[in-house]
A and B are shown apart, each in its own frame.
Chain A
Amino acid sequence: MKHSPLWTALCASAAMGLALGPVMAQEAGETDGILVQPGETESGTAAESEAPGAGLTASPTEDDTAGDETDEDEPAAEASSEAAEEDAATGAESGDEALAEEETDEAAPAATLDVAPAEAPDDAAETEEDAGEDEAQSAQSFRDQPQEQREVGTDWPFWGGDTNAQRYSPLNQITRENVGELERAFVFNSGDLPEGTADGKYSPETTPLKVGDDLLICGAMNELISIKADTGEENWRYDPGVPNEAIPYGATCRGVSLWTNPAAAEGDTCATRVIEATLDAKLIAVDVETGMPCEGFGENGTVDLWQDIGERVPGWYAVTAPPAIVRGVIVTGAQVKDGQAEEAPSGVIRGFDAETGELAWAWDLGAEEQNRNGPPEGEVYTRGTPNMWTTATADEELGLVYLPMGNSSVDYYGSNRSEAEEEYSTSLVALDATTGEVAWSFQTVYNDVWDYDLGSQVTLVDFPQDGGTVPAVILPSKQGDIYILDRETGESLFDVEEITGLPKGDIEPDYISDVQPSSTYHTLRHDDLTARDMWGFSPIDQLWCRIQFHRANYDGFYTPPSADRHFIQFPGYNGGSDWGSVAVDPERGVIIANYNNIPNHNRLIPREEAEERNLRPIYEQDEEGGSGAEGAGDPQIGAPYGIDVNAGWRSPLTQMPCTKPPYGGIRAIDLETGETLWDEPIGTARRNGPWGIPSFLPLKIGTPNNGGSVVTESGLIFIGAATDNLFRAIDIETGETLWQDVLPAGGQANPITYEVDGRQYVMIMAGGHHFMETGVSDAFIAYALPE
């Protein structure tokens, strides 16, 4: 149920003696390359918003306003349904070429981009009719068989790179030899920056898609934008008008998905569509060429995901991950804000017809059969069930979708959970994407009371075994265990070891499991903590942490929650592996995993004390509420305890973690054997230090990190993720950092690589992250070798 936070923390207490070491930092060279002037874009778009095509290209400010108003009055409607836009959209779709062209031109004066309906809009009507006839048939057919998928290389067509989510690119123009010459090719500023109450809640985490000549991106508040992949010039934008109050824990849009309708003729409006799910829980489909909402999808291109969820409480139910699309079915879960109440929005997973937006099926683990086609009139999907906030992986071939499930809504107390919740919480569940039925599931924690949600997207591989290969799935977890499962059966290809004799604690000894699984293939987890691992900046704060260590409940891995004293949870809820997921080099047979190595210092808060502290659930708060760190005082209404989480166990004396570094690492693992090839700390101490003072130390201390990597055929790993705000290229053979650049804010986003006209680009969004304390920015930065 959560998505992971983290902060900066740490560091170089060496800073004490030394004023500062040699600073590496080449300061962010914003003058490098082509900088898309925000001013230019804005003036351009401002003009457009007067034009009929407004909805597509209005300036961020104007659209926000429009969006807010609309949403306040009428939450279900959005900016796109305003009359003018509707007209525009209809005009275009009805095949009036002249009108469409005119609008397009007007709509994009500055953005230049010829969004043009290159192919025959005048055939559109006809084609649509044809499509209409075939509809029933085609809808059937593309669900029964695999649809052809785009390949990674020149393009980056999926959030995870290719259909297998390997984050691997066959591109090799940028090599270990020339990577040192890498420079900024352009910077695109999306204009999506926090305004008003969104301040301090931004964590965009955005990864673009690249298809054809364009990049498709979303702003943190879900504005959809298409830009030229080689210059950053804007083609179009579409603002769904998400209001600030919809921000759950952070304003995040990890990415979007694409679907091409096999039944549509090339050039048809929405033949290829961008699918996005938003913070205010809408599923949106727009045309990839023009950004026009897809008329035939839901209502004016929008499906309301609040449908059948229950009372609409903005921010409680939000989508931050790109949906998976399997055989024409869009599959999505949602983030349900953690720790509020047992009576929370359902964790239901739903499939929607990618063409029409109609509900194809629902998987409600609390009422699988009854709610398969939606709950009966007047009822809602089962409340408080485990949800999926992260990204699913589509298996077009087997027609399955792999869902990394989180925990129930109340994370740290389990006695009230149903059997079905216990069966599926913190499990990888494979659903038949055409029917929504469970094919198999694999659980990584029994009776999870640690918020060990599965955060990583799983990666598909042909796993080398016995001289052949087995279609397998790589499942990384927050505990650090990496499992290799047979894709068809869910059986682990390696022994799953059971850790036995675990403590059951005093709170709910009948619920806590004294047995837990662990992987014999590989774990990223470090050894259990000891008093010697306590850290600090001097013996005095170290002493303070040692005292806390001895005062807390800690019996190692899976220490159960306690209320009389704090309990130490290690690894903490940031992982291990989190949403950044792992990358796989299938040629070299190497898994690249970055991970966190930090504990949380937690305590259950008895209900009475929670009342005294006035811990309120989200449905009783005004808009200002709930901007704190996840779990730092959550009410868990319905359970006898609230929860207080000190994520990263930071000392109140110095704001540094109580444990020693490294707080984060990156590891290369042999795919076939699971053996570690190398393991290096990731992140330097330059931005971190006691009391948040940057130490400027270029020392590789290993910082908390969020966001994954990209691996290229030429043997390079590109990754930001760490709290030092550096973007770096690492040699896959040695783990050595070969190149780095200072970002304007944290690179807590998965990077991509692609090619335009024979030139390879690497791009990362440097959006920063509120909880990682890495600033805020709207910059998408593209790097390339000098021409």
Chain B
Amino acid sequence: MTHSIYNEGTHFEERRHTHWAAVFIGVLCVLLGIVLFAGGVWLAMLGGSWYYALAGIGLLLTGWFLARGLMSGVYVYLVTWVGTLIWAYWEVGTDWWAQVPRVVAPTVILILVLLLIPVLRHRRR
């Protein structure tokens, strides 16, 4: 993971040395966040659940921080993910098939975000 950082050259290390992986995941979270937020606001206006709009905000913040190489992205996402679990359990309990769309994809993102921790730590050094 660390090789590429050196490959990028030291010139940029001071200003924009965010690892490409963090940028990539950050941008992905922003894109997903935009979709969830926009759709979520629409849903809420139709009288539906507020979860999606809120989760969209969580993802937008996560993405923003990650893309800037900030560890706060991880913390924000953890909060979003735990919030998602609580909401999902509140909505459908132990109906595992019903949990699938609610929990699987967010957990995959959680794993990706957690994998960024070493990279984000490196930046701080």
Which residues of A are interface residues toward B (Cβ below 8 A)?
12-14, 16-17, 531-533, 535-544, 546-547, 549-551, 660-662, 701
Contacts and interface: CB of A to CB of B under 8 A. Distances in A.
Contact of A551 (B46, B49, B102): B46
A554 to B, nearest CB: 12
Nearest to A13: B100
Interface in B43-73: 43, 46-49, 52, 55
B39 A547 contact: yes
Which residue among B35, B104, B106, B108 has the maximum number of chain A CB atoms within 10 Å of its CB? B104
Interface class of chain B by DSSP: helix
B89 interface: no
Given A13-B101, A547-B39, A660-B95, A539 B46 contact: no
Given A531-B49, A532-B92, A538 B101 contact: yes
B107 A17 contact: yes
A661 B107 CA distance: 21
Contact of B97 (A540, A547, A661): A661
B105 interface: yes
A17 B36 contact: no
Interface residues of B, number: 26
A539 B106 contact: yes
B40 interface: yes
A547 B35 CA distance: 13
B42 interface: yes
Nearest to B53: A543
Interface in B1-31: none
A662 B95 CA distance: 11
A541 B101 contact: yes
A660 B97 contact: yes
B46 A547 contact: yes
Given A532-B98, A550-B47, A543 B104 contact: no
Given A14-B104, A16-B105, A531-B49, A543 B98 contact: no
Given A532-B92, A539-B52, A544 B104 contact: no
Given A17-B108, A547-B42, A547-B43, A539 B36 contact: yes
B108 A540 contact: no
Contacts of B42: 547
A546 B51 CA distance: 12
Given A540-B39, A544-B39, A550-B47, A13 B91 contact: no
B102 A539 contact: yes
Given A540-B35, A543-B43, A550-B43, A535 B108 contact: no
Nearest to B35: A540
B46 A660 contact: no
Nearest to A540: B35
Interface in B84-100: 91-92, 95, 97-98, 100
B72 to A, nearest CB: 22
Contacts of A537: 100-101, 105
A547 B52 CA distance: 11
Nearest to B100: A13
B32 interface: yes
A540 B28 CA distance: 13
Contacts of B100: 12-14, 535, 537
A538 B31 CA distance: 14
B35 A546 contact: no
Nearest to A550: B46
Contacts of A544: 39
Contacts, number: 71
Contacts of A701: 97
B40 A543 contact: yes
Contact of B104 (A16, A540, A546): A16
Given A16-B108, A544-B39, A550-B43, A536 B92 contact: no
29 contacts: A13-B104, A14-B100, A16-B104, A16-B105, A17-B108, A532-B91, A537-B101, A538-B101, A538-B105, A539-B36, A539-B55, A539-B105, A540-B32, A540-B39, A541-B101, A542-B102, A543-B52, A544-B39, A546-B48, A546-B52, A547-B42, A547-B43, A547-B48, A549-B48, A550-B43, A550-B46, A550-B48, A661-B97, A701-B97
Given A14-B104, A542-B101, A550-B46, 10 more contacts: A14-B100, A17-B104, A535-B97, A535-B101, A539-B101, A539-B105, A540-B105, A543-B36, A550-B48, A662-B97
Nearest to A533: B98
A543 B98 CA distance: 13
Contacts of A661: 97
A532 B98 CA distance: 8
A299 to B, nearest CB: 56
Contacts of A546: 43, 48-49, 52
Contacts of B39: 540, 543-544, 547
A537 B39 CA distance: 16
Given A547-B48, A551-B46, A535 B98 contact: yes
Contact of B48 (A14, A531, A541): A531
The 3 closest A-B pairs by CB, nearest first: A550-B46, A538-B105, A542-B101
Given A16-B105, A547-B42, A540 B36 contact: yes
A424 to B, nearest CB: 40
A550 B102 CA distance: 18
Contacts of A533: 98
A708 B48 CA distance: 39
Contacts of A538: 101, 104-105
B41 to A, nearest CB: 11
Which residue among B40, B52, B92, B97 has the maximum number of chain A CB atoms within 10 Å of its CB? B97
A660 B55 CA distance: 21
B3 to A, nearest CB: 27
Contacts of B106: 539
Contacts of B35: 540
A365 B37 CA distance: 57
Nearest to B108: A17
Nearest to A532: B91
A632 to B, nearest CB: 25
A549 B49 CA distance: 12
A14 B98 CA distance: 11
B8 to A, nearest CB: 31
A656 to B, nearest CB: 10
Contacts of B95: 660
Nearest to B46: A550
A541 B39 CA distance: 10
Which residue among B32, B98, B101 has the maximum number of chain A CB atoms within 10 Å of its CB? B101
Nearest to A18: B104
Contacts of A547: 39, 42-43, 46, 48
Which residue among A536, A537, A544, A660 has the maximum number of chain B CB atoms within 10 Å of its CB? A660
A535 B95 CA distance: 12
A438 B108 CA distance: 63
A532 B92 CA distance: 7
A193 B105 CA distance: 42
A532 B95 CA distance: 11
A538 B97 CA distance: 12
Nearest to B32: A540
A303 to B, nearest CB: 51
Contacts of B36: 539-540, 543
A660 B97 CA distance: 7
A365 to B, nearest CB: 44
A190 B25 CA distance: 55
Contacts of B102: 539, 542
A72 to B, nearest CB: 51
A660 B98 contact: yes
B56 to A, nearest CB: 9
